Structure 1
Amino acid sequence: MAEEKTFPMTLEGKEKLQAELEELKTNKRAEVIKRIKIARSFGDLSENSEYESAKDEQSFVEGRIKELDHMINYAEIIDSDAIAKNEVAVGKSVTFQEDDDEPETYQIVGAAEADPFEGKISNESPIAKGLIGHKLGEEVTIDTPAGEMSVKIVDVK
């Protein structure tokens, strides 16, 4: 049997996924079932847009539940404290600077909890891949879809 893919993530990220899963199972699932029952009461299902919409939402909710269950079951909690304090790794925040641009800070997290708007980038992203394993003060060349970028790591937390 093939080995299952693990999902590296922080403990905080796993807890967030568990909360989303609980919300979907306890509240959202019941809401969708109620919408389906109401839509069925409108009669002919062949031309019932409310019914179709509710069934589509049910499919999405059940798919997300399955996806979250899988990610949680195969979560690999990253202990960034076990890695040298000055080394970039999953779970740590890194600040880097490209030439004379303003420094940028991101927390490197597993793909399941990535949210660029919150400053969390996936360990599978080109920038994270280019920085992981490097240390504070190092100059690193990162291959990105837009081309190479040279940065200096100015802080690791």
Structure 2
Amino acid sequence: MRAPMTMQGAQRLRAELEELKSVKRPAVINAIAEARAHGDLKENAEYHAAREQQGFIEGRIKQLEGEISHAEIIDVSKLDAGSRVVFGATVTLADVETDEEKRYQIVGDLEADIKQALIAVSSPLARALIGKHEGDAVTLDAPGGRREYEIVGVAYLG
């Protein structure tokens, strides 16, 4: 099964991939060459740090290439699910106790970023929301106890 991903998420990940390949990979290769020039590699902290960084960069490049190539890219603005919550929806929730409103977009696992209010489709909150409609109540067992939310808005923004 192909993992869903929004068009915006795919663009962000492609931009990260391009930066890793064109900026960070060459920089770490230069750092390794420079550290090698300093001589003995056994006790050369700069060399070992650069090699470790290179391993991280190459791993992330492989991960991004694999995820993007196997993703099903979805144009959220073309979805017409009405008031029903499906992948890609931007959902406004009101905490039943506090009336505090929060807004999240349901996105693919790799593009999720809670700081940007992007929640993974596989997260407990997203799983509780999928299939519900505007006006429905959702109960979630959170680490701080049981929370109840009302879905006050569902939008499909491009």
Correspondence for 2:152 among 151, 154, 157: 154
In structure 1, what is the equivalent of residue 142 of structure 2? Answer: 144
1:27 and 2:8 are equivalent in the alignment: no
Contact 2:97 2:148 in 1 (8 A): no
Structure 1: segments with no counterpart, 5+ residues: none
Which stretch has the larger CA shift, 56-65 or 76-85?
Answer: 76-85
Aligned residues: 153
* Distance across 2 between alignment mates of 1:83 and 1:140: 22
Per-residue CA deviation, residues 13-63 of structure 1 (Å, 9 max, x unaligned), is 001111111111111111010000000000000000010000000000000
Question: Is residue 50 of structure 1 aligned with residue 46 of structure 2?
Answer: yes
Q: Aligned Cα RMSD in Å?
A: 1.4
> How has the CA–CA distance of structure 1 residues 150 and 100 changed in structure 2, closer, same or farther, with 3 Å as cutoff?
closer
Q: CA deviation at 1:79?
A: 4.2
Identity over aligned pairs, percent = 46
Note the C-alpha offset of 1:7: 2.5
SS in 2 for 1:117: helix
Q: Note the 1:33-44 alignment, pairs <5 A.
A: 33-44=29-40
TM-score normalised by length of structure 2: 0.90
Q: State the one-letter code of the partner of 1:71.
A: E
User: Cα distance, 1:144 vs. partner?
Assistant: 3.3
Q: Does residue 98 in structure 1 map to residue 104 in structure 2?
A: no
1:18 counterpart residue number: 14
CA distance in 2, matches of 1:12, 1:71: 15
Residues 42-101 of structure 1: per-residue CA shift (max 9 Å, x gap): 000000001000000000000000000011011112344434120112211101112232
Deviates more, 1:79-88 or 1:41-50: 79-88
- In structure 2, the partner of 1:107 is 105
Instruction: State the AA in 2 paired with 1:130.
Output: A
3-state DSSP of counterpart to 1:143? strand
Distance in structure 1 (CA, Å) of the matches to 2:131 and 2:4: 16
Gaps of 5+ in 2: none
Number of the residue aligned with 1:131? 129
TM-score normalised by length of structure 1: 0.91
Instruction: Tell me how far 1:145 sits from its aligned partner.
Output: 4.0
Q: How far 1:126 sits from its partner (Å)? A: 1.0
SS at match of 1:54: helix
